[in-house]
Amino acid sequence: MKQRYDKLSEKVSRATTQSYSTSFSWGIRLLHASIRGAIYSIYGFVRVADEIVDSFEGYDQQALLTNFKIDTYRAIEQKISVNPILNSFQKVVHQYKIDSDLIATFLESMETDLDKRTYSQEHYHKYIYGSAEVVGLMCLRVFTNGDDAKYDELKPYAMRLGAAFQKVNFLRDMKEDYEILGRIYFPQVDIRNFNGNTKSVIENEIEADFAKALEGIRKLPDGSKQGVYLAYIYYKSLFNKIKKSTPLRILSGRVRINNGVKVGLMLNCVMLNKLKWN
């Protein structure tokens, strides 16, 4: 009987993903059908936690996050939750043996977002690992489906892809993060004196992450390669647009890729898959 509720839970996670991210939603559509639901479930879990610390101003965010953490661990322990997002997530955790330390590290990083702060180099790397790299590793557990050797091989690449995505987000959202949330993620960056040299240093770091990540994408199982590559080219295209933008443009508002361009990128990705990555 619970199967009907599990299907509903997965639909809620899918709807959450589609509501918040067209880029990831379209990437997930190019995954093999057997793993799409699991990735939706991971994204739904991550998205709710992120919204608690980013969007629920005027509410007791600390209490909400604490309760969410308690409910997460309870769902995993009991293998069920009346929260559909957590019910779908716990199912994936058990099915793909997602490491508990990845979940704990992610939730810990979300808690640091409740403090308005600037980041040292150490905290910067720690936050990127907890907020993005571990999410890539959760997804990698699904992609490798019990193949521990393959997981260990691809782990460094998945981490670099997660880091690249997060750093692009930091650049894209710099104005909003600073003015609304009181955060500057890049260490030793004074937003009042943000200039081309500082921007270039950050961009070189991101370029290196993308280059390493692409090596790993080529080694992914066939069922996940195309979808992950599409997410990669979406973000790489956004990054290239950011690179062409002046620091003043970055601080004026979000740089975006419109949906028409995204459709073209998706078609190119499908064609590349037909050519077997040659």
- What digits encode the pLDDT tens for the residues 208-231? 999 999 999 999 999 999 999 999
pLDDT higher for 83 or 25?
83
The partner residues of 184 in beta bridges, in order of sequence, read 118
Residue 260: its pLDDT value, please?
Answer: 58
- List phi, psi (to 5°) of 118: -105, 160
Q: Is the pLDDT of residue 277 over 70?
A: no
Mean pLDDT confidence for 238-249? 92
Quickly state the pLDDT bin for 273 (edges 50, 70, 90): low
CATH no., domain 2-274: 1.10.600.10
List the alpha helices (DSSP H) in the chain: 2-20, 22-29, 33-55, 61-78, 84-96, 100-112, 121-128, 134-144, 148-172, 174-179, 196-217, 222-244, 247-250, 259-274
Residue in the structure block whose two tokens are 């690179």: 243
55 falls in which pLDDT band (50, 70, 90)? very high
Coil/strand/helix, residue 11: helix
At 120 the pLDDT is 84
Distance between CA atoms of residues 274 and 41, nearest Å: 28
